[in-house]
Chain A
Amino acid sequence: MGLMLRSNALNLLFEDRFCLTLVVLARSQIESRNSHQVKRAASMFFHIVLERNMQLHPRHFGRNLRENLVSKLMKDVEGTCSGRHGFVVAITGIENIGKGLIRDGTGFVTFPVKYQCVVFRPFKGEILEAVVTMVNKMGFFAEAGPVQIFVSNHLIPDDMEFQSGDVPNYTTSDGSVKIQKDSEVRLKIIGTRVDATEIFCIGTIKDDFLGVINDPSAA
């Protein structure tokens, strides 16, 4: 299962924290990359090379052109989501910066930049851990980093019932297990929908070894 990360670490999209956490992750990902190449479909982080045409204002030309380009690239790309590759978590390196092309009229220069980055893309059948963000009668929403996952009440074990009230939750009949906001759950993704800017998943906890892993109310 490649890398399993505590979802709350990813939960924050604060740029700096985000980068920090993920750079660490990225490194470990790189290390484990070779060994996991075979099982690719089962991992949600990928270290891949992407290409992008960067437009740079002429004022950035000079000694620091490269740095400027890279910082702009990071700013532009990190944290975005592309349907094909998923969320770009962090840029780990620049492979190649092509020759710049000056645009007529504006003076902007377009550079084709190839960069390595870590992307996060959930797949069907994957198991991950997520933090419950909202519970309602239709099911609950959970987040694992930037990804929102919905677990429908049809995909919650039948013995768990919805309890409305101040803190809506799903509770087993004996009350031993409770899913409410901020609970951490382990779930399996059964479907994904990838938009231009968002990945939305449907998950299930109706399977062996899935369900609550950490209950805030118990603590």
Chain B
Amino acid sequence: MPRRRDDDDDDIDADEEEYEEEMEQPLDEEEEEEEEDRSSRKRRRSDFIDDVAEEDEDEEEEEEEEEDDDFGGGGRRRRAKRPSGSQFLDIEAEVDSDDDEEEDDAEDDFIVDNVADIPDEDDNRRMHRRPLLPREDEQEDVEALERRIQARYARSNHMEYDEETTEVEQQALLPSVRDPKLWMVKCAIGREREAAVCLMQKCIDRGPEMQIRSAVALDHLKNFIYIEADKEAHVREACKGLRNIYAQKITLVPIKEMTDVLSVESKAIDLSRDTWVRMKIGTYKGDLAKVVDVDNVRQRVTVKLIPRIDLQALANKLEGREVAKKKAFVPPPRFMNIDEARELHIRVERRRDPITGEYFENIGGMFFKDGFLYKTVSMKSISAQNIKPTFDELEKFRKPGENGDGDIASLSTLFANRKKGHFMKGDAVIVVKGDLKNLKGWVEKVEEENVHIRPEMKGLPKTLAVNERELCKYFEPGNHVKVVSGTQEGATGMVVKVDQHVLIILSDTTKEHIRVFADDVVESSEVTTGVTRIGDYELHDLVLLDNMSFGVIIRVETEAFQVLKGTPDRPEVDIVKLREIKSKIDKKISVQDRFNNTISSKDVVRILEGPCKGKQGPVEHIYRGILFIYDRHHLEHAGFICAKSQSCVVVGGSRTNGNRNGNSYSRFAGLATPPRFPQSPKRFPRGGPPNDGGGRHGRGGRGHHDGLVGSTVKVRQGPYKGYRGRVVEIKGQLVRVELESQMKVVTVDRTFISDNVAVSTPYRDASTRYGMGSETPMHPSRTPLHPYMTPMRDIGTTPIHDGMRTPMRDRAWNPYAPMSPSRDNWEEGNPATWGASPQYQPGSPPSRTYEAPTPGSGWANTPGGSYSDAGTPRDSGSAYANAPSPYLPSTPGGQPMTPNSASYLPGTPGGQPMTPGTGGLDMMSPVIGGDTEGPWYMPDILVNYRRSGDDPIMGVIREVLPDGSCRIGLGSSGNGETVTAPSSEVEVIVPRKSDKIKIMGGALRGATGKLIGVDGTDGIVKVDDTLDVKILDLVILAKLAQP
């Protein structure tokens, strides 16, 4: 109980003091002539009504404004206009809450004060700026009051304040179960004080029927007030009818926490010179400042700031011109340039500070030195706790030309605010201050303030006690550290350089330099990237963004990602917020490289063109024909490179199979890339004539067949995807694999296996697989077909599907399957529908002749007869070309099975009609067969002729020679010199919208038309002859030379 009383009294004092201050302000501002009587009343009123509700900060801001000589005016005028006559409120407000007997006296006192003694009061106030006691005139009563109080509390056990209280006595003051309880009640935000005052008012009105003891509004606690009462019901009763208080929820404050509610946090910060502080209010709110002088008596601090001054506005103001005051605009911090100020005719006085003897430039009452603003502010308006200047700020603060001398001292002040437990046993430290400066050692023991260190130097005592503030963590270049606080928190890296307290770290992930304070860092062997994940998205994920673009996350920042966009031409990095990400793309797609080798994730590719030409690395993501390649030597964008799949070439298989880098590439580069075999007959689909292919695989295939036999492989694609097994036999393009999990031997396409599992044979042999792969341009495209074939494969395991049919068929539609109208049927996987399906062979009756027999004879037959036979000829002969032969007789639709059918022959106009099968196929998918294979040229199209090393020259194909090379007339109209170029040196010029084009492949091969639109990789073409509009792959379109 006694304790409570004290609190109350204190509260009164405190409140009164505050009110006094409040009232002071207007007084200072007010013109003297004003009628004091009136003004004081108005002020009174406003104090109690307005300011109570106003938040603390506002008050302070007002104060600040005063200091700035920056008269807002508005607020004051508002007050002045307020009608008077609120005396009643005044009086009540000044009265304390609950003491009945005293209340009357007090009330009387106040009334007297206010009404009668106003002039005195004002005078008094003017004299003492901060009266510690209540009003002077109260003094006379004080003694009486004191006596009364003495009398009242005489029986209480607690004595005068000035006597040193022992801990026991203090303990006795703590609230116990018998004391009234403290209840937390919700109230309107910003109305905390008002609510408390209302309660007080109510108390006065109602007198003893209010059973609450006190009400407290805390400045730092919004939305709640505390009410002291014995019972919850009392609180409820008291709150009834008050609209500011929401009494639905009344929370009891536990006894233990009661003291915390009303205890004032000790703000005993020793502000000393060179301490970094932050401004709390005003224009400079949040700005870093450095203390230059402390006046403890007047509670004022002089700080050094980077001025935020709009010189123009200042000039206007000084010249008395009216400036429209824009409150929102805060000028950026900038060093004051005196000359600039002079140019604006701002008067600059040079004054000498009488105490320090330093010279300051005085502009409009502000003091500047070296471009800094020196400002004297109240201690309240700065915060000195937990100030962590960032590097940027410090950098700015360091005046150009000023070397780092001052830095160390100021940096050491940073340590003043570091957390408890900063040093741990075993930490390497260095002494930064005092006699032992630069002594290194290790922390042995940490006490409160002192740290015992074991010095590195010999001949010193075993441990030395050093003040924590004189120590700094010590690191050496090469240490692997982790940043534990600050902006770079979480990053790890190796120390590259130690510059006093600043470390330069090479980040593990970004391979970039990071600057951190030694204090923020601990030694750690952990390798992290800092934050690697926000929400569902992680570093290196491929994500789809809002605007349908996509990219890979290359860096995770505090609340945003850096995304390398999927634009192949140039690296484009965007900062993307979490909400701008639509989804993660996690598809397992494979695409084709320039030479139609399948690229799937983790394959190593080399970039053939574009800005990153020559780079290579494993493919991390594939999306819409764009590859994201990770090259560890590529330092930008976290090692990611974005490239078109068409501008890359597969180097080897999955990296995990040991094919490192250029190694495997070089091995079969010759097989895969055209330049080495420009006229190779093997490359028939690329423009060369499809001759028999008799020796096509001679070198590539033969002799290595057995290499794979016996090795353990994993099936990468097709129905057996994921299965592991041992290779029993190789038959040309097919491999028979004994599955580990099922007692079964299955046949899969050779390209569908990956031997990175546990191949016991040297992988050299395995690499032939790739070699073959690249040699056989059709197989990669075959991939997706397999699932459709599943039903047959079971019966069959027949080589005929894989070996025979695929080449044409899937090349025909596979990459563009989505466009093919027949797709749905396909997926049913019912072979019978193929033949019958009118959808995809609408206009080609001959094709039925091919399709129809298939389900019956062509396929069903095969397993029986040819299965075992097939192996034999192939082993002796070339892998591929021989394969068709055994089946030829049994297949009525023989032509379609020969991949090198005439339809591919450039310059054979009759090709299509003669091969009904292929013709039909062509119809099926708009983007026809082999079209992805690259150029297969025709006369009259515009091409770029690229001789090795030279810039490409435009030309027009005049003639396509049987060996695939072209005769080209140079120049855009083809009138120039005529040269003969191998197909590999010729590149079709991709037509643009509304260009005249010639169709180089498909059913419409040879037709001309106009490109009326482009949609991704497809072109919309209006064919000249029929005036039909067709959607065709851009690849088979070539720009027609203008006649």
Contact = CB atoms under 8 A, between A and B. Distances in A.
A86 to B, nearest CB: 16
Nearest to A71: B760
B663 A191 contact: no
Interface string B697-723: 000000000000010100000000000
Interface string B497-524: 1000000101010011100000000000
A133 B480 contact: no
Interface in B457-514: 476-480, 494-497, 504, 506, 508, 511-513
Contact of B494 (A14, A60, A193, A195): A193
A154 B759 CA distance: 47
Contacts of A193: 480, 494, 508, 527
A13 to B, nearest CB: 5
A45 interface: no
A59 interface: yes
Find the residue from A55, A60, A193 having the highest chain B CB count within 10 A: A193
A152 B633 contact: no
B636 to A, nearest CB: 9
Contacts of A59: 710, 726
Contacts of A13: 660-661, 663
Interface string B735-758: 000001000000000000000001
Contacts of B760: 57, 60, 68, 71-72, 75
A14 B513 contact: no
A25 interface: no
Nearest to B512: A138
B183 interface: no
Interface in B752-804: 758-760, 762-763
A195 B477 contact: no
Contacts of B513: 138, 152
Interface string A46-85: 0000000001010110000000100110010001000000
B726 to A, nearest CB: 6
A57 B758 contact: yes
Contacts of A141: 633, 635
Contacts of A15: 658, 660, 663
A187 to B, nearest CB: 12
B741 to A, nearest CB: 10
Contacts of A133: 633
A204 interface: yes
A190 B477 contact: yes
Nearest to A83: B525
Contacts of B508: 193, 200
B765 to A, nearest CB: 12
A87 interface: no
A171 interface: no
Contact of A195 (B527, B660, B759): B527
Contact of A155 (B480, B497, B762): B497
A40 interface: no
A138 to B, nearest CB: 6
A82 B534 CA distance: 31
A198 B555 CA distance: 21
Contacts of A190: 476-478
A133 B633 CA distance: 8
Find the residue from B495, B496, B740 having the highest chain A CB count within 10 A: B496
Contact of A154 (B496, B633, B740): B496
A195 B763 CA distance: 26
Nearest to B480: A193
Q: Give the interface SS of chain B, mostly helix, strand, loop or mixed.
A: loop
Contacts of A71: 760, 762
A30 interface: no
B763 A75 contact: yes
Nearest to A151: B496
Contacts of A195: 527
A154 B494 contact: no
A213 interface: no
A134 B479 CA distance: 23
Contacts of B759: 75
Contacts of B762: 71, 75
Contacts of B758: 55, 57, 72
Contacts of B633: 133-134, 141
Given A134-B633, A191-B477, A202-B494, A106 B710 contact: no
A139 B656 CA distance: 31
B586 to A, nearest CB: 24
Interface in B313-331: none
Nearest to B666: A14
Nearest to A150: B506
A124 interface: yes
Nearest to A136: B635
Interface string A124-142: 1000000001101010010
A154 B494 CA distance: 13
Contact of B495 (A55, A106, A138, A191): A191
A75 B477 contact: no
B427 to A, nearest CB: 18
Find the residue from A79, A106, A154 having the highest chain B CB count within 10 A: A154
Contacts of B726: 57, 59
A141 B511 CA distance: 10
Contacts of B479: 191
B761 to A, nearest CB: 8
B496 A202 contact: yes
Contacts of B527: 193, 195
A134 B635 contact: yes
A153 B476 CA distance: 16
Contact of A79 (B480, B512, B658): B658
Given A152-B497, A152-B513, A14 B477 contact: no
Contact of A202 (B506, B658, B712): B506
B496 A75 contact: no
B145 to A, nearest CB: 72
A191 B710 CA distance: 45
Nearest to A134: B633
B658 A150 contact: no
Contacts of A60: 760
Interface string A149-183: 01010110000000000000000000000000000
28 contacts: A13-B660, A13-B661, A14-B660, A14-B663, A15-B658, A15-B663, A55-B758, A57-B726, A75-B658, A75-B763, A79-B660, A136-B635, A138-B512, A138-B513, A141-B633, A152-B496, A152-B497, A152-B506, A152-B513, A154-B497, A155-B497, A189-B478, A190-B476, A190-B477, A191-B480, A192-B478, A202-B478, A202-B494
Given A75-B760, A75-B762, A193-B508, 6 more contacts: A57-B760, A75-B763, A150-B506, A155-B496, A202-B494, A204-B477
Interface of B: 476-480, 494-497, 504, 506, 508, 511-513, 527, 633, 635, 658, 660-661, 663, 710, 712, 726, 740, 758-760, 762-763
Closest 7 CB pairs of A and B: A191-B478, A190-B478, A154-B497, A152-B496, A191-B494, A13-B660, A202-B494
